[in-house]
Amino acid sequence: MGQIADAFKQAFRDFVTDGVPASGKNNPRKSEVRAIGPVVEEVIGEIEVSVDANVDAKVASEKQEREAADTALGARIDSVEDIAYTSAAVYESVNAGLAATTNGQQFQVQVGDDIVRYQNTSGTAVEVARYPSASSVASLGIRLAVSESHIENLDSAVSGMFTDPAQSAASGAASALPDAPLAYRKIRLADGTRFVVPVYISIEEIDLFVIVGQSNAEGRGDSSLSPTALDGIMIVGGAIQPGPLVDPVGGALTGSMWPSFANEWFSQTGRMSAFVEAATGGTALIPDQSGSNWSPSGSLRAAAANAANQAISAINSADEYTLGTVRFVWSQGEQEAESINGTTITGPLYKTALEGLATYFKGQVPEMVEMLVIRTGSRNDYQRAEDWAAIRAAQESACNDSDLLRMVYRGTYGFNYTGRRFMVDQVHYGQIGLNEAGRLSAKVAASSGPAPVPIAPSLLASNAWMDTDISTSNSRTVSHTTAVGAKMLVVAVAAARTVNANTTTLNPVTFGGLTMTKALGFTSPSSLAASRATSPLGRCDVGIYYLTEDQVPGGLSGVAGEIVASTSAAIPILSLSVFDLNSIALPDVTISNLLAGDVSPTDTFSVSLFTGAPAFVVGICCSVADSGAALTHTLTGLTEIADGGAAGSGRSGQVAFGWANVAEVAGSPISAVLSAPATTGLLHVAAFRGLIEGE
């Protein structure tokens, strides 16, 4: 062996093609494997190799060609063009190259592990191209070998692919190369010496994902907003489709989460991914009247298993791929959430059915490692919240109890939050949401455990400024210094118009001149106001706003600034409170209970809170009453931090603020009871959950 061959052998010994777990230090980096072809072409087609060491394998090209003609390899060699090596010489430095060339001529300089080609442009070196040198190419895992005697012995002279450096050094054992090279290339060195190099095709390790579930698994997004996955492919009917993976994937109308998933999977693992899209919109897991469901009596599970086995056979039969892992991915539950009846369709029945489905797939597709679960979200109008929560709980329980199920994403619950615009209708995720779900699901899928439950932010400090003067104004400014360590500021604002009028709106709130983001309701901003259309008129407006440290130059910790709240018209009551939190969070849900229109006065406002994760909760109760004194509040489910108001001319306006830290809750009651009935009012609650890693 010569120096070049030895260098490539040393670099390539860790490369694994088949039969060895792709993990640890022996895990081949796919991006490097894919670079083999182009790099070889660059090396043998354009780079002038400078070799200082003795190369015992050098043989005069004429002798090699004569010998090759007497072997079975001669036909291959004759069919391959000689490498047109560049005539640009290699110099020790750029200055040396410039000195030896004239305007327009090219020269090369070895810079570190690269060979850089320059053009002399009026005495200035302009970089034309950059190629890996021999040592750099070796690091990519390409092994070249040169026969020391006859071309017919070339294959036997090529060392095997060692699976482990220590093991191979001790035993000399090595995995065999493919039966025959793809081709042979003749290389001519700068000194005229020629030798022959075998070129082998690279083999991609590819992981298979079988998509099962209903319409959100298929996708109801927008392909124009979906990424392209260069490292993903589709397999349809057992036939591998040429990449890249682009939407619409399978039954997507027209965008899905799978190109985003494929991109993140490659980013995390360095491996390609293949997809079988076996989901069907509108289908159930628990048996229904249609045969198109995922139960044992339905037709979908067998079809998905058959498609998976066809895909596995296709990969195993392909020359360019080797099968990695096989996983099913489940995104479903909306059908049962909309159909729970307490008898034949329940959360516990769903749990049992999901565990059974995973067991079935494992039995039919033994290569399946696990079934990944993307948890069901919620309707964007908050209807049937209890039923949707029951399905989410069933999915969590099934993943906890079955070794074949793993929860990889819970963030879909927050997709219904109006401000994020992650849904396109009551139950379907939009493309922004699909991209997010695909990316974050793949991130967790590439790890060894389930998706971690996001941690709710904690309260560092709070304060309130209550308006107890009935005189009217349309703005209020207060000074606030955030707590040390604060990463998020939440401001709650309430405005009560006690005069005989029902028009006004809250303007955006600012802190230190920065506009804060409003936590909107489930339906529209109008849900954050209550107004009475008949005498006595009245109106209440509330808003919860937030600002995070990444929006503030220098961060939010210990920052002094003015909070400015204002309204479109002068009003008697304008109160606000602040909450300094220790971490950045997202609004998971906002909900209101309103008293407005021609309805009877009431002294009680209440909501049932459903969250998708542990959360920090902020609540406001604001009301107008026919009272000569401001009413007081009793809050349940919230820790009250302020309660106050003002009265005049037989009308009163009053506000109470509160907060709570809650676990993931389903129907947690929050209420405000007033000391007397109010004619207009509302209770408004916003829950902020911690960030999911990668958001």
- Shortest CA distance to 541 belongs to which of 514, 511, 502, 578? 502
Q: Quote the CA–CA distance of 420 and 355 in Å, as a whole number.
A: 33
Has residue 447 got a pLDDT over 80? yes
Res 2: pLDDT? 47
Q: Which residues contact 149 (CB under 8 A, 6 or more apart)?
A: none
* Residue 107 confidence class, pLDDT cut points 50, 70, 90: confident
Answer yes or no: is 451 within a domain.
no
- Shortest CA distance to 485 belongs to which of 552, 548, 547, 556? 556
Assess whether 467 and 425 both reside in one domain: no
Rounded to a whole number of angstroms, the distance between the first and last alpha carbons of the chain is 52
Run of H or E residues at 357: helix 347-364
Which tokens go with 298?
């339905």
* Residue 177 confidence class, pLDDT cut points 50, 70, 90: low
Answer yes or no: is 450 within a domain.
no
Answer yes or no: is 441 within a domain.
yes
Q: Which residues contact 75 (CB under 8 A, 6 or more apart)?
A: none
Assess whether 397 and 258 both reside in one domain: yes
Res 160: pLDDT? 35
Assess whether 638 and 604 both reside in one domain: yes
Has residue 152 got a pLDDT over 80? no
Which tokens go with 532?
């009475």
Q: How far is CA 122 from the centre of its chain?
A: 50
Each residue of 554-569: pLDDT tens digit? 999 999 999 999 999 8
Taking every pair of C-alpha atoms in the chain, what is the biggest distance, in angstroms? 114
Q: Which residues contact 4 (CB under 8 A, 6 or more apart)?
A: 49, 51, 55, 134, 144, 146
Phi-psi region of 278 (alpha: psi -120 to 50; beta: other; left: phi over 0): alpha
Residues facing 633 on adjacent strands: 674
Burial 259-272 (b: 16+ CB within 10 A, else e): bbbbbbbbeebbbb
Has residue 474 got a pLDDT over 70? yes
Contact (CB, 8 A) for 546 and 455: no
* Residue 590 confidence class, pLDDT cut points 50, 70, 90: confident
Total length of the chain: 695
Which tokens go with 362?
């494992």
Q: Which of 199, 215, 242 is the last residue of a domain?
A: 199
Which pairing describes strands 321-331 and 368-374: parallel, antiparallel, or unpaired?
A: parallel
* Residue 46 confidence class, pLDDT cut points 50, 70, 90: very low
Which tokens go with 154?
């070339």
Which pTM was predicted? 0.71
Which residue range forms the structural domain that includes residue 378?
Answer: 204-445
Cβ-in-10-Å burial (0-12, 13-18, 19+) of 307 comes to buried
* Residue 647 confidence class, pLDDT cut points 50, 70, 90: very high
Three-state DSSP at 68 gives helix
Three-state DSSP at 450 gives coil
Answer yes or no: is 272 within a domain.
yes
Assess whether 521 and 630 both reside in one domain: yes
Each residue of 361-371: pLDDT tens digit? 999 999 999 99
Cβ-in-10-Å burial (0-12, 13-18, 19+) of 52 comes to exposed
Between 96 and 289, residue with greater pLDDT: 96
Assess whether 338 and 482 both reside in one domain: no
Assess whether 17 and 140 both reside in one domain: yes
Contact (CB, 8 A) for 76 and 65: no
CA distances from 286 to 292, 302, 323, 384, 389 (A): 11, 15, 32, 18, 17
Q: Give the mean pLDDT of 15-23.
A: 38
CA angle 217, 222, 226 (to 5 degrees): 80
DSSP codes, 313-337: HHHHH-SSEEEEEEEEEEE--HHHH
Res 328: pLDDT? 99
Q: Which residue has the tokens 């087609």?
A: 45
Which pairing describes strands 514-515 and 510-511: parallel, antiparallel, or unpaired?
A: antiparallel
Q: Give the mean pLDDT of 434-445.
A: 97
Has residue 141 got a pLDDT over 50? no
Strand order in the sheet with 560-571: 473-481, 560-571, 510-511, 514-515
- Shortest CA distance to 680 belongs to which of 539, 533, 497, 543? 539
Answer yes or no: is 542 within a domain.
yes
Assess whether 141 and 224 both reside in one domain: no
Assess whether 488 and 521 both reside in one domain: yes
Percent of the chain, pLDDT > 90?
58
Between 28 and 508, residue with greater pLDDT: 508
Q: Which residue has the tokens 């400014």?
A: 477
* Residue 442 confidence class, pLDDT cut points 50, 70, 90: very high
Q: Which of 152, 184, 199 is the last residue of a domain?
A: 199
Has residue 45 got a pLDDT over 70? no
Q: Give the mean pLDDT of 215-228.
A: 95
Phi-psi region of 384 (alpha: psi -120 to 50; beta: other; left: phi over 0): left
Give phi and psi for 266, each to the nearest 5: -65, -40
Q: How far is CA 504 from the centre of its chain?
A: 41
Q: Which of 384, 413, 445 is the last residue of a domain?
A: 445
Q: Give the mean pLDDT of 101-110.
A: 88
Which pairing describes strands 368-374 and 239-240: parallel, antiparallel, or unpaired?
A: unpaired
Cβ-in-10-Å burial (0-12, 13-18, 19+) of 352 comes to middle
Answer yes or no: is 606 within a domain.
yes
Q: Which residue has the tokens 């139950």?
A: 427
Has residue 634 got a pLDDT over 70? yes
Which residue type does 330 have? W
Each residue of 386-432: pLDDT tens digit? 999 999 999 999 999 999 999 999 999 888 765 667 888 889 999 99
Q: Quote the CA–CA distance of 568 and 43 in Å, as a whole number.
A: 71
Res 128: pLDDT? 81
Three-state DSSP at 605 gives strand
Which pairing describes strands 560-571 and 573-581: parallel, antiparallel, or unpaired?
A: unpaired
Each residue of 512-564: pLDDT tens digit? 999 999 987 544 444 477 877 777 888 999 999 999 999 999 999 999 999 99
Q: Which residue has the tokens 């309660």?
A: 643
Query: Which segment of 66-70, 215-219, 288-292, 671-675 scores lowest on mean pLDDT?
Result: 66-70
* Residue 202 confidence class, pLDDT cut points 50, 70, 90: low
Answer yes or no: is 452 within a domain.
no
Assess whether 101 and 245 both reside in one domain: no
Q: Give the mean pLDDT of 573-585.
A: 97
- Write down the mean pLDDT value for the chain: 81
Contact (CB, 8 A) for 628 and 652: yes
Strand order in the sheet with 602-610: 602-610, 666-678, 633-636
Res 31: pLDDT? 39
Q: Give the mean pLDDT of 661-689.
A: 94
- Per the structure, the count of domains in the chain is 3
Assess whether 224 and 259 both reside in one domain: yes
Assess whether 165 and 224 both reside in one domain: no
Contact (CB, 8 A) for 502 and 598: no
Has residue 149 got a pLDDT over 80? no
Has residue 597 got a pLDDT over 80? no
Three-state DSSP at 50 gives coil
Query: Which segment of 147-156, 262-271, 480-489 scores lowest on mean pLDDT?
Result: 147-156
- Shortest CA distance to 129 belongs to which of 37, 43, 50, 212? 43
Answer yes or no: is 454 within a domain.
no
Res 179: pLDDT? 57
- Shortest CA distance to 221 belongs to which of 442, 443, 439, 435? 435
Assess whether 464 and 435 both reside in one domain: no
Contact (CB, 8 A) for 231 and 272: yes
Q: Give the mean pLDDT of 125-154.
A: 51
* Residue 71 confidence class, pLDDT cut points 50, 70, 90: very low
Has residue 72 got a pLDDT over 80? no
Each residue of 293-333: pLDDT tens digit? 999 999 999 999 999 999 999 999 998 899 999 999 999 99
